[in-house]
């Protein structure tokens, strides 16, 4: 994931997505490239074609915030794409805060402090968990473990939601709208690659998924990024059936780069009742081994 290549492919892919009509330019009838020409982006950004071509070749080192903002406007980037462009520029400068040692701890090195686990355990009405930008599950409450039982059941997933989504057949059942989940997963990982380009575990994860999943490799090449803070998702759990859950993702001030996500159901809905059934099912699953050990002792 060389930074110059990342920059080049990101800018090229964004330029290809903007039509002349969207940019307020005449479309003409003899266009040989999708989207805008380099000269058109340069004009919209108020810079020379030579300078824009240099940027699109991947050279963002030393680029000013004003130039980045002009590019973002010309390419009509959304908030997530703007943040990604800034992160790519910081990485090109070697000034990305996410390259500092405290931000490069591995999953094994980061352990939830007791109060965080207490907080998660206090959330009993919905699944709650903490993840990093690689989609590693770092901490969770009981209901989340029961909700994502397929992730924990397959050692090869390594408690990673990206591996589960693309390498585990159970994901197609658990996510009725699998394509949407797949798109979101790759967009989150792609954004993390822009923030933390020197993360070896991230490189290894992307390499593994690109090798083993055509679906991931195609999406990875699209260079899409997005913020993933709130919304509604649909699931099918093998024990309780279909659920429609709202979610809120909260950045953790005490651990930058980590996200606390909580799923909840609409009060009085069938999904709320099914979450209660799931909690009961989870309790029986956890007590069953203890009962079995007592019977054999």
- The answer to whether residues 118 and 97 touch, using CB atoms and an 8 Å cutoff, is no
pLDDT mean by block of 10 residues, the chain; 297 residues: 84 94 82 86 96 95 95 95 94 62 51 86 95 95 95 92 97 97 96 91 96 98 90 96 97 89 97 96 69 43
Asked, for residue 103, whether it belongs to a domain, the answer is no
Number of domains in the chain: 2
pTM: 0.85
Asked if 179 and 41 sit in the same domain, the reply is: no
Identify whether residues 70 and 136 lie together within a single domain.
no
Q: How far apart are CA 35 and CA 31, in angstroms?
A: 9
> Are both 86 and 131 inside the same structural domain?
no
Q: Do 175 and 265 have their domain in common? A: yes
Q: Is 231 helix (H, G, I), strand (E, B) or coil?
A: strand
Tokens 């999406």 sit at which residue? 219
Residue-level pLDDT at 105: 52
The answer to whether residue 106 is domain-embedded is no
Does 129 lie in the same domain as 76?
no
**120 and 149 together in one domain:** yes
Last residue of one domain, picked from the residues 62, 95, 128: 95
Q: 15 and 54 share a domain?
A: yes
- Same domain flag for 65 and 118: no
Helix (H) or strand (E) holding 244: strand 241-251
Token readout for 73 is 């406007």
Query: Which of 95, 126, 145 marks a domain boundary?
Result: 95
Query: Would you tell me how many other CB atoms lie within 10 Å of the CB of residue 5?
Result: 10
| Containing structural domain, residue 166 | 114-293
Q: Does 241 lie in the same domain as 133?
A: yes
Residue at 80 is within a domain:
yes
Give the residue among 90, 103, 65 at the shortest CA–CA distance from 6: 90
- Is residue 108, in this structure, part of any structural domain at all? no
Do 156 and 27 have their domain in common? no
* Tokens standing for residue 145: 């473990």
CATH of the domain at 75: 1.10.260.40
In a domain, 104, yes or no: no
Same domain as 73, residue 150? no
Q: Which of 46, 66, 95 is the last residue of a domain?
A: 95
CATH code, 190: 3.30.450.180
Assess if residue 78 is contained within a domain.
Answer: yes
Q: Is residue 41 part of a domain?
A: yes
User: What is residue 74's DSSP assignment?
Assistant: H
Q: What is the pLDDT of residues 73-92, one digit of tens each?
A: 999 999 999 999 999 999 98
Rounded to the nearest angstrom, the gap between the alpha carbon of residue 154 and the centroid of all alpha carbons in its chain is: 21
Residue 283, pLDDT score:
85
DSSP type of residue 138:
E
Task: Tell me if 157 is assigned to some domain.
Answer: yes
Shared domain check, 249 and 125: yes
**Residue 152 — left, alpha, or beta (φ > 0 → left; ψ -120 to 50 → alpha)?**
alpha
Euclidean distance between CA atoms 67 and 72, whole angstroms: 9
Q: In whole angstroms, what is the distance from residue 229 CA to residue 222 CA?
A: 21
């Amino acid at each position: 994931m060389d930074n110059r290549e990342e920059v080049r492919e990101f800018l090229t892919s964004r330029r290809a997505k903007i039509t002349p009509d969207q940019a307020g330019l005449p479309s003409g009838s003899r266009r040989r490239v999708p989207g805008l020409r380099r000269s058109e982006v340069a004009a919209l950004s108020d810079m020379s074609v030579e300078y824009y071509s240099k940027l699109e070749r991947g050279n963002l080192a030393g680029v000013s915030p004003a130039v980045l903002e002009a590019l973002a406007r010309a390419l009509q980037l959304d908030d997530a794409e703007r943040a990604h462009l800034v992160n790519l520029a910081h990485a090109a400068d070697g000034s990305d805060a996410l390259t500092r040692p405290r931000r490069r701890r591995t999953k094994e090195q980061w352990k939830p402090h007791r109060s965080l686990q207490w907080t998660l355990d206090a959330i009993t009405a919905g699944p709650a968990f903490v993840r990093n930008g690689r989609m590693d599950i770092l901490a969770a409450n009981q209901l989340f473990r029961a909700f994502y039982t397929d992730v924990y059941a397959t050692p090869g997933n390594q408690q990673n939601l990206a591996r589960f989504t693309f390498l585990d057949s159970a994901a197609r059942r658990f996510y009725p709208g699998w394509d949407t989940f797949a798109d979101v997963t790759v967009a989150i990982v792609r954004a993390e690659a822009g923030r933390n380009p020197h993360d070896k575990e991230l490189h290894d994860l992307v390499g593994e998924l690109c090798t083993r999943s055509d679906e991931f490799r195609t999406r990875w090449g699209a260079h899409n990024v997005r913020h993933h803070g709130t919304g509604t998702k649909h699931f099918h759990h093998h024990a309780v059936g279909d659920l429609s859950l709202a979610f809120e993702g909260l950045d953790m001030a005490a651990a930058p780069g980590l996200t606390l996500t909580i799923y909840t159901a609409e009060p009085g809905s069938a999904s709320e009742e099914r979450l209660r059934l799931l909690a009961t099912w989870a309790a029986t699953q956890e007590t069953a081994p203890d009962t079995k050990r007592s019977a054999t002792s």
